[in-house]
Amino acid sequence: MRIEIICTGDEVLTGKITNTNFGYMSQKLEDVGLDVYWGTTVGDDREALLTAFRLAAERADAVIVNGGLGPTVDDLSQEIAAQAAGVELVLNEHWLVRMESFFTRRNRKMSPNNRKQAMLPVGSELLDNPIGTACGFAMDIGGARFFFTPGVPRELRRMLEEQIVPRLLARSGSPTAIKLKRYHTYGLGESNVDELLTGVEALAPDGSAKLGFRAHYPQIETKLTIRGTDAEDIQRKLAPLDAEIRVRLGNFIIAEDNDTLEGVVLAKLAEHGHSLALVETFTSGEIAARLAHLPGAERVFRCGIVTRELPQINRALGLPDVSLSGGLDELKAQAVTRGALRQTEATHALTVLIELDEGADRMDLGGTIWTTIATTNDAVTRRSRILGGREWIRLGAVELGLDCLRRYLQGLPVQERSVFERT
C-alpha cells in the first residue's frame, strides 16, 4: 500500500514551526508495519493544495493530510478536498452539536466562524476528535483514500492512533494485531546494537518480527514490532525474542517502552524509601533537572549542589579545603560523596565531578569524569574519559551519572565500559 503524507500550513512551509508531525506519523506507521512513500509540504494556498491533493490522488493508495481544519479563513482543507473530489460541502449536524457542547462545558461561547469546522465534503466519513473542535474526516479522491487530520500535535496523535491506523491496517490486509516493544539502552552505539541483535528477527516465524533503531545521543532506542493473528499469538511470538534481546543487550538496557532512565532510577529509590543527594560540576544542574521535578521526586530528592570550582563543593558541604587540591582521585571523589551524604542525611549520594581538558572547544576536546555513589556503608567510584567537545562530554556525563546510579540500585556492575569512553 502506497501511503503519502501532505503537511499543510504557512507556518510549517516557512519553517516558522518545526514540523514534528511528519516524523511522528511516519514513525507510528512504521511501528505497525506500514511505510510512507512520499511526503509533501505546502502552504495555505488554494492552487498548491489542489495540486498536491490531485498528485497524491493519482499515485497513492492512502493519503494523510495534516492541518488546515481550523476556524479561520486560511484553513482550507475541507474546501479544497471537496473541490478535488468534485463534491459540495455540507453541514455535519452531529459535529456542530459536539462543538457547541465543547464550548458550553468550558463556559465559553462558540464563535460563528467555528461553524466552518463542521462543514464536510458530501460523502465523507467523520473521524472523531475527542479533545478539540477540528474533527477529522476520510473520503475518496481519485483512487486514494484521504484522511484529514488536525495540525495540533496532541489531537493528531490521538486521531492517528485511534481512528486512522486501524483503518489503514484494515485496508492493507495486514493482520490487525500488532505489538510494539521498545528497549532503551545507554552505553552502546547504534551499530553495536544492530550487530548484537543480528538474527533475532529470524526467531519469529514468517517475518512477523521486525527490528528498528533510533539514536538520540547518548541513548539508542530499539523497536521490536511483532505481527500476529491476535494478542495471544503475538505474546507467543514475542516471548522468545524478548528473552533473547534481554540476554544480548544485557545490562545496557536502561528502560523499556515509555519508561525513562531517570524514571527507573526514581522508582527504584522510592520503592525502598531511599533518598538522594547529588553533587555535579560541568553537567551544571542537568542531572538534577532530569530527576528532581518528576512527580514523586519531592519525597526522594534531598538536595543537589552545582559548582564549577571544586573548593566551592568543600564550602557547600563543610569539608576541609585541603582535600581537593591538586586534581581528583578516587579518595577525594569519595570524600565529597560522603560529605554530601552526611550533610543531607540522604540514604544515597551521587557525585559527577568533571575535569575538562584545557583549551578551546573542539571536536576532540576531552573530559575526565569521576562518578561516585555512596551509601552509609559503601562507596563505588568509576573514572571515565569522554572525547568529543564540551556539549558531547556534558550530555554524555549526565547519562553516565544516571546510569551508574541505576546499575548500583539494580545490583549490576557499575564499572562496565560504554562505547563512548576512551582510555
Q: Which residues bind a copy of itself (CB under 8 A)?
A: 7, 12-20, 22-27, 30, 35-43, 45, 48, 55, 212-214, 278, 282-289, 291-293, 295, 297-298, 301-309, 312, 315-316, 343-344, 361, 390, 394
DSSP string, 151-210: SSHHHHHHHIIIIIHHHHHHHHT--SEEEEEEEEEESS-HHHHHHHTTTSGGGSGGG-EE
Least Å distance, CB 417 to a copy of itself, is 25
Least Å distance, CB 387 to a copy of itself, is 15
Nearer to a copy of itself among residue 174 and residue 284 (C-beta): 284
Phi/psi-derived region of residue 327, left when phi > 0, alpha when psi is between -120 and 50, beta in every other case: left
Beta bridge mates, 138: 125, 147
- Examine residue 71 and say whether the peptide bond preceding it is cis (omega within 30 degrees of 0): no
Nearer to a copy of itself among residue 214 and residue 422 (C-beta): 214
Nearer to a copy of itself among residue 55 and residue 196 (C-beta): 55
66 vs 405: CA distance, rounded Å: 42
Least Å distance, CB 72 to a copy of itself, is 14
- Torsions phi, psi of 153, nearest 5? -50, -45
Least Å distance, CB 366 to a copy of itself, is 16
Least Å distance, CB 106 to a copy of itself, is 10
Nearer to a copy of itself among residue 232 and residue 361 (C-beta): 361
Nearer to a copy of itself among residue 24 and residue 128 (C-beta): 24
Least Å distance, CB 315 to a copy of itself, is 7
Nearer to a copy of itself among residue 141 and residue 317 (C-beta): 317
Work out the number of other CB atoms within 10 angstroms of the CB of residue 20: 10
Beta bridge mates, 185: 220, 253
Least Å distance, CB 165 to a copy of itself, is 14
Work out the number of other CB atoms within 10 angstroms of the CB of residue 67: 27
Nearer to a copy of itself among residue 120 and residue 319 (C-beta): 319
Nearer to a copy of itself among residue 10 and residue 244 (C-beta): 10
Buried b (16+ CB within 10 A) or exposed e, 332-368: bbbbbbbbbbbbbebbbbbbbbbbbeeeeeeeebbbb
Close Cβ partners of 309 (under 8 Å, ≥ 6 residues apart):
none
36 vs 64: CA distance, rounded Å: 10
Which three cell numbers mark 406? 541505576
Least Å distance, CB 278 to a copy of itself, is 7
